[in-house]
Structure 1
């Protein structure tokens, strides 16, 4: 699994001109899934996300986690995170998991992060054409791949 985390002062997701998710102060998490991903990847990433110290403490230093900052999360599935651009100019998405594998993992990811955070998590819709808006706070953007833990 590969994720892109963006610290936001606000973010939203619109599908078919209808807003389906909206937060202030928190994290927008873009999630890419491959066939080899497992619950172990989910558990490791969810723990990393909620405990990652990317919010300012009382001295303005990034030293506070999402849990301690009382932030919120939007999770958006994004198969294009696994694009290969090695050959030609058209990205290949062959590494991205097909829906029959990706949807259960996506749903488990959402459930696991909700349990880790202790409150509901907002989401986009798997496979939908989404308009994602955000104000990146900082800017802070972090990329994490669960296959590169060491």
Structure 2
């Protein structure tokens, strides 16, 4: 069984550090990042719902981003399209050894997105995008 923890990331562009609300859910949390002692496998998902008529562009973007993160970070991210539900909903799934590894990837991905090493979604393609961390308990 998996427990979903929705983390809303806030980025300090000057320091490059990540902060998030609700830090109390992680015992021994330090203000500099996620607790390094939490060592549970994490399934990280980024779920996007495209605007009507943008499903093809959304899928094209998701595949390009998957290829970029797999190459840059030696990941094995995968992209799925939902059967049923919101039409065209796309999810990119990545596995990590711990929340600390997710944090490292997020810092790198933000930096590399700014530096145009990872594609960013074109404006108007997605209605919403949510990120979730699923921890094995």
- For Structure 1 versus Structure 2, the TM-score category normalised by the shorter chain is under 0.3
- Using structure 2 for the length normalisation, give the TM-score: 0.28
